Chain A
Amino acid sequence: MKELVVISGKGGTGKTSLTASFAALARKAVLADCDVDAADLHLILQPEVRRRESFVSGREAVIREADCAGCGRCAALCRFEAISAVARDSDGARVFRIDSAACEGCGVCTWNCPAKAIDFPERTCGEWFVSATRHGPMVHARLAPGAENSGKLVALVREQARETARQSKRELVLVDGPPGTGCPVIAAVTNANAILVVTEPTVSGFHDLSRVLQLAAHFRIPAAVCVNKWDIHPDMADRIEDQARSAGAVPVGRVRYGPEATDAQRRKLAVVEAGDSPLADDIRAVWQNWLDSTAESGEKESR
């Protein structure tokens, strides 16, 4: 079983659009949407949810205002600026309140409150789903707004996708990854078989690509690069492919700029499903090149 992950570094390069087309082209794949912060793949693949689970991760501190003596020790100790003074609803007394979005769940306030007025429950941070789509099973998730994105939910989605592949005897897990280079991306790529970086021919794309390729090298995962909307700036597309080669990554093709991507999205179709076009052919070629490159590189087998 192989796990192929599509990432981008910079957001908005077309990673999800391309992944939707790859899902349509792939045979016997399980799809995993690991962009749990702003998941979009489902808008095209229209999954029917078969299983839904809560995602519990970490804890958060909650002050029982009725028991708060207003000493402020919690606010003084909190390193994350999550606690501030407010007027208690019942009597206007000065008490303290924790901003749930800023609370990191470290427990310092809880253990050090002289009045023992702070609870420390587990935190439900979102939900994950196992669903059916026209291109195969899909595992996806929704992180609650403002929730911590440590990568744990991403890791869980991948694990469930692999498990689904094992059970349904599918050979490929195709992952739509998150933007950036932080926790969620690290969780999306560690121990994957290969990465495809979808980038754009802009100074921003060039700049961000180098960081993403460093990440791939750090985790020793073979990387391929695809330049989307390449004809906006052909010179930059060349430079990006040179940069990829210098970093040991393989350029696997270019996709041109065109209205087909948004048009297909509006029709809830992947570009390769929405009719023939040179742009669709570009995407087919990238997919085939990427598959060929992952077969050749003799990467370690997925466990």
Chain B
Amino acid sequence: MKVVITSSSQTLAEPIDMHFGRAKYFILADTETGHATAHDNAQNLHAAQGAGIQSAETVAKLGAEAVITGSVGPKAFRALQAAGVKIALVESACPGTEALRRFKDGELPVLDSPNSEGHWV
């Protein structure tokens, strides 16, 4: 299954980015094969508003079934839900490889409502 991990770098070895909407990179990983590719989310860092929505669009286009991150604001949450993408949460910025392992082992809670007030940052 394909999942997206939000990251401030292009590799799963580095810590994940806790903020969904303005993460620098989305790393698309295949849970079966472990193959991972990094996708630039830079255009969203500059969006005036609605960065989380655009990020959700990107995740949907990448064909991910789940996203692993730290916090998701209300608009991004609505968009991900509409796209049928599950949201798995880590509580602090661990390396991407560890986040992926914990996801596969079923250790990560799934978010059923937004856990952030919505950022403008």
State if A and B touch, Cβ cutoff 8 Å.
yes
> Taking beta carbons and an 8 Å cutoff, which residues of A are in contact with B?
56-58, 150-152, 154-155, 158-159, 186-187, 190-191, 219-220, 303
Q: Is the CB of B48 within 8 A of A303?
A: no
Interchain residue pairs with CB less than 8 A apart (28): A57-B48, A58-B48, A150-B49, A151-B49, A152-B48, A152-B120, A154-B120, A155-B119, A155-B120, A155-B121, A159-B121, A186-B120, A187-B120, A187-B121, A190-B117, A190-B118, A190-B119, A190-B120, A190-B121, A191-B117, A191-B119, A191-B121, A219-B117, A220-B117, A303-B18, A303-B19, A303-B70, A303-B71
List B contacts of A152 (CB < 8 A).
48-49, 120
List A contacts of B19 (CB < 8 A).
303
Measured between C-beta atoms, what is the minimum distance from A1 to chain B in Å? 14
Residue among B18, B71, B117, B121 with most chain A CB within 10 A: B121
B43 contacts the other chain (Cβ, under 8 Å)? no
Docked complex: B70-104 residues within 8 A CB-CB of A:
70-71
Q: In the complex, A190→B73 CA distance in Å? A: 11
List B contacts of A191 (CB < 8 A).
116-117, 119, 121
> Taking beta carbons and an 8 Å cutoff, which residues of B are in contact with A?
18-19, 46, 48-49, 70-71, 116-121
Report the 6 A-B pairs with minimum CB-CB distance, sorted nearest first.
Answer: A187-B120, A152-B48, A155-B120, A155-B121, A150-B48, A159-B121
Measured between C-beta atoms, what is the minimum distance from A219 to chain B in Å? 6
Q: In the complex, A152→B44 CA distance in Å? A: 12
List B contacts of A58 (CB < 8 A).
48
Measured between C-beta atoms, what is the minimum distance from B21 to chain A in Å? 12
Measured between C-beta atoms, what is the minimum distance from A154 to chain B in Å? 7
Measured between C-beta atoms, what is the minimum distance from B42 to chain A in Å? 14
List B contacts of A158 (CB < 8 A).
121
Measured between C-beta atoms, what is the minimum distance from B52 to chain A in Å? 13
Q: In the complex, A190→B117 CA distance in Å? A: 7
Give the residue name and chain of the B residue nearest to A152 (CB).
B48
Measured between C-beta atoms, what is the minimum distance from B99 to chain A in Å? 16
